[in-house]
Amino acid sequence: MSPLPSRTRCIGVLTSGGDCPGLNAAIRGITKAAIQDYGIKVVGILDGFRGLVENRTIPLDFATTSGVLTRGGTILGTSRDRPRKMLIGGALLDMTQAAVANARKQDFDCVVCLGGGGTQKNAYHLHKAGGLNVMTLPKTIDNDVAGTDVTFGFDTAMQICTEAIDRLHTTATSHDRIIVVEVMGHNTGWLALGAGIAGGADVILIPEIPYDIDAVVDYLKERQRRYGKRFSIVCVAEGALAQAEVAAQAAEAASKKEAKKSEADAGGETADAVADQTGFRLVKESLASRLARNLQSLTNTEARITSLGHVQRGGVPSAADRLLTTLLGTSAARFLADGTYNVMVAVRGGLCVPVPLGEVAGQKKQVPLDHHWLRTARALGTCLGVTDRELRRRMDA
């Protein structure tokens, strides 16, 4: 098969940020289509942007991408390094020019970066500050990249979380317990919401709707009183917990300040000074554990926690993610052949389309409050962390 005309002769491919299922399938899709359809040379850059700065590469071809479709993680390795601020010999240095120089040395017409929100920013920076041609593909289990309907990795993670919730249901019902299940999503609640609905969680807490513990407790008590259900599944995004913690710390700081003032007024020792004299610090309780402890004492129902952690990012990609990454990868090769650079290959209405990177970099896609997933959860009677009245007010605002 003779290759089709191509404006691109050679590309580098890197994976950056947290890994997720589907990265290898995407690498395979780009590599196979680029070589077979357009005769483009493909080079793999190791360990994200650090590999570009350090000029560490491997060849990508039919042999090196054979058998990786179903493999989790990334055969290229990944890191959270940023070219603009990279830790080198203990100091944070701007390595932008080193990255660009290596890309030129390697003869890359374009560097294809597979990653989430941070990667979009880093790739755009290399283009703006270094004049490098870049292209990105949207990956993250958080599904929070702007400009695309969906990111790859999300479907697999949602499946893993849903299966976990299914399993937690059977043990929660047997023991009449509240189980708090913590899922990833440091800024957004797509994963908690999607898996929460799919797994039939009773309470879903996401960062987009800061939760009110009293509303959750009232809901759980009502569930017990009206339906006789003493077990409940509370699916919470890590970002919702972090947000509640920030609010709690601010409230604590304000009340401490007030307490110190009254102790000082009374000429006594401050609360802080007494605590410091013990010489020990407590091992910090996890935020999910604190939520479970509070729910346990406020509802008088035994509670447990399960934090799914990096299990959510491991293992084989789902069929939907394999299909999506293969579509994205082969589309990327087509756009490269056209000479379409400095874009993210996004999914819109089921199609892969190039979106200018400048429209995407630095943006975050949160769950809109009028999103149909939220309306669906509400319609089912799921608690979303606030009273129904408050929720409706926010949804319709």
223 C-beta neighbours (distance < 10 Å), count = 19
Name the minimum Å distance from CB 306 to ligand F6P: 16
Burial class of residue 156 in the structure, from the number of CB atoms within 10 Å of its CB (0-12 exposed, 13-18 middle, 19+ buried) = buried
Indicate whether 185 belongs to the interface with ligand F6P (CB under 6 A).
yes
Indicate whether 182 belongs to the interface with ligand F6P (CB under 6 A).
no
Q: How far is CA 317 from the centre of its chain?
A: 16
Q: How far is Cα 342 from Cα 354, in angstroms, rounded to an integer?
A: 9
Between 186 and 371, whose beta carbon lies closer to ligand F6P? 186
The residue behind tokens 């959270």 is 80
Radius of gyration of the chain (CA): 24
Q: How far is Cα 380 from Cα 372, in angstroms, rounded to an integer?
A: 12
In this chain, which of 42, 145, 180, 184 binds ligand F6P, going by CB under 6 A? 184
Is 142 tagged catalytic?
Answer: yes
Candidates 104-112, 140-148, 203-211, 263-271: pick the segment binding ligand F6P (CB under 6 A): 140-148
Closest CA to 183 of 144, 145, 235, 241: 235
CB 112 within 8 A of CB 11: yes
Q: How far is Cα 44 from Cα 202, in angstroms, rounded to an integer?
A: 45
Q: Is 306 helix (H, G, I), strand (E, B) or coil?
A: strand
Between 192 and 291, whose beta carbon lies closer to ligand F6P? 192
Name the minimum Å distance from CB 175 to ligand F6P: 29
CB 198 within 8 A of CB 154: no
* Candidates 19, 81, 142, 321; catalytic one: 142
Helices (H) and strands (E) counted in the chain, each on its own, are 13, 13
Between 172 and 328, whose beta carbon lies closer to ligand F6P? 328
Select the residue whose beta carbon is closest to ligand F6P and give its number. 18
Candidates 31-39, 47-55, 63-71, 181-189: pick the segment binding ligand F6P (CB under 6 A): 181-189
In this chain, which of 140, 151, 159, 326 binds ligand F6P, going by CB under 6 A? 140
Between 224 and 289, whose beta carbon lies closer to ligand F6P? 289
Tokens representing residue 30 in the block: 């780009």
Tokens representing residue 61 in the block: 């071809």
Q: Write the binding mask 110 to 139 for ligand F6P: x where contact by CB under 6 A, - elsewhere.
A: ------------------------------
Tokens representing residue 151 in the block: 């990111």
Indicate whether 186 belongs to the interface with ligand F6P (CB under 6 A).
yes
70 residue type, one letter: T
In this chain, which of 14, 33, 141, 215 binds ligand F6P, going by CB under 6 A? 141
Q: How far is Cα 337 from Cα 226, in angstroms, rounded to an integer?
A: 62
Name the minimum Å distance from CB 301 to ligand F6P: 29
127 C-beta neighbours (distance < 10 Å), count = 21
Name the minimum Å distance from CB 262 to ligand F6P: 39
Indicate whether 18 belongs to the interface with ligand F6P (CB under 6 A).
yes
Name the minimum Å distance from CB 353 to ligand F6P: 24
Q: Write the binding mask 231 to 270 for ligand F6P: x where contact by CB under 6 A, - elsewhere.
A: -------x--------------------------------
Between 81 and 142, whose beta carbon lies closer to ligand F6P? 142
Q: How far is Cα 257 from Cα 263, in angstroms, rounded to an integer?
A: 10
Between 360 and 391, whose beta carbon lies closer to ligand F6P? 360
Between 20 and 135, whose beta carbon lies closer to ligand F6P? 20
Q: How far is Cα 287 from Cα 214, in angstroms, rounded to an integer?
A: 17
Strand partners, 183: 237
Site for ligand F6P in 58-117 (CB under 6 A): none
Name the minimum Å distance from CB 191 to ligand F6P: 8
Strand partners, 85: 82
Indicate whether 156 belongs to the interface with ligand F6P (CB under 6 A).
no
Most distant CA atoms of the chain, gap in Å = 89
Name the minimum Å distance from CB 154 to ligand F6P: 10
Name the minimum Å distance from CB 186 to ligand F6P: 4
Q: How far is Cα 292 from Cα 236, in angstroms, rounded to an integer?
A: 11
> What length does the chain have?
397
Between 51 and 354, whose beta carbon lies closer to ligand F6P? 51
Residues forming the active site? 142
**Where on the chain is the footprint of ligand F6P (CB under 6 A)?**
18, 140-142, 184-186, 238
